[in-house]
Structure 1
């Protein structure tokens, strides 16, 4: 089944079912959500996301139960995937995440801190394309949440999680434009 955009309610219902399945098997999955799902669920920064980027432990049980949820709920096989694992920092910083309607009995959910997610989004800094929003809107939201005011401050945040990473000049120009828009809107 092809990917379809997921709403907050659809994600919560799928995660609730995942919790139920895990509990029925006597396990409690540890799941860290990333990317668009966090922007949607934690910051209300968008209406939908194409998938749920997540790391699930234990991975074998998690993959099996995620696949079952996909079949039961008519979701794409990759509705929840761990593609984000390539971009995870060894210096992760996470917060607990409680989702209304999702029982913690079978799931323990965490998410990156706003600064860590900002660093990840800045590292990707993907441009909007037709049919794809890119990272600019998410970066703007996270800059507002973190109250970050300069490219130098953003670089400091990136350095916290991805040491020795120098932001490309094109990324700095993009960030400067986003910061200018925030300053302009603030008056």
Structure 2
């Protein structure tokens, strides 16, 4: 598991590697890394889901660093990129010499977590945390927020069941 301190350390290592290449990188965090780094909602995450550029260079450097640190080659991955749609605000997390790290605004994080909702992961706890953070009281408020970021045809039916069930508790 990757703690907040370990993730920051890994990003510092990545910054150093980018510096040696004379490259500037950008990482947009999503998922558990945001819940860990931005909200302190959990102590650790199993990996860092993100979008990043330059993609090939950062992927190669992350694999190299992962190997050196005894981490899986996918500790930094872009597996969640299919859930990311444009049109959200960003919050800067780190601004290093050769690496910028940001996270989506909390409303977007909630919408994205609801879209990707999986009961067998930390998604439920993350969604509950974000609903409380945003002071939402009704399922309709959550659905309105989701629809503000995602086209209706991209919202799976499981999202409605997931959110409805949260408000039934």
TM, length-normalised to structure 2: 0.91
Q: For residue 27 of structure 1, report the CA deviation from its aligned partner.
A: 1.1
Rounded to whole Å, the distance in 2 between the matches of 1:90 and 1:38 is: 18
Residue in 1 that maps onto 2:126: 138
Rounded to whole Å, the distance in 2 between the matches of 1:19 and 1:29 is: 8
Q: For residue 126 of structure 1, report the CA deviation from its aligned partner.
A: 1.2
Q: For residue 73 of structure 1, report the CA deviation from its aligned partner.
A: 1.3
Q: For residue 145 of structure 1, report the CA deviation from its aligned partner.
A: 1.4
- Give the count of matched residue pairs: 166
Structure 2: tracts of 5 or more residues without a match: none
C-alpha change, 1:37 and 1:172, in structure 2 (3 Å) is closer
Deviations 1:17-72 (A, max 9, x none): 00111111111101101100000011111111110001110111111111111122
What SS does the corresponding residue of 1:83 show, helix, strand or coil? Answer: coil
Rounded to whole Å, the distance in 2 between the matches of 1:159 and 1:20 is: 40
1:91 aligns with 2:87: yes
Of residues 9, 13, 17 in structure 1, which corresponds to 2:9? 13
What SS does the corresponding residue of 2:80 show, helix, strand or coil? Answer: helix
Q: For residue 142 of structure 1, report the CA deviation from its aligned partner.
A: 0.5
What SS does the corresponding residue of 1:97 show, helix, strand or coil? Answer: strand
Residue in 2 that maps onto 1:183: none
Q: For residue 150 of structure 1, report the CA deviation from its aligned partner.
A: 1.1
1:159-174, aligned counterparts within 5 Å?
Answer: 159-164=147-152, 168=157, 169-174=160-165
What SS does the corresponding residue of 1:109 show, helix, strand or coil? Answer: strand
CA RMSD of aligned residues (A): 1.6
C-alpha change, 1:151 and 1:167, in structure 2 (3 Å) is farther
Q: For residue 167 of structure 1, report the CA deviation from its aligned partner.
A: 6.5
TM, length-normalised to structure 1: 0.82
Residue in 2 that maps onto 1:176: 167
Of residues 104, 110, 113 in structure 1, which corresponds to 2:102? 110
Deviations 1:143-169 (A, max 9, x none): 111112211111111011102256634
Give the conservation status (yes or no) of the 8 Å contact 1:20–1:106: yes
Deviations 1:121-160 (A, max 9, x none): 11122113xxxx4311100111111112211111111011
Rounded to whole Å, the distance in 2 between the matches of 1:158 and 1:175 is: 15
Give the conservation status (yes or no) of the 8 Å contact 1:125–1:134: no
Rounded to whole Å, the distance in 2 between the matches of 1:125 and 1:107 is: 30
Of residues 57, 64, 88 in structure 1, which corresponds to 2:53? 57
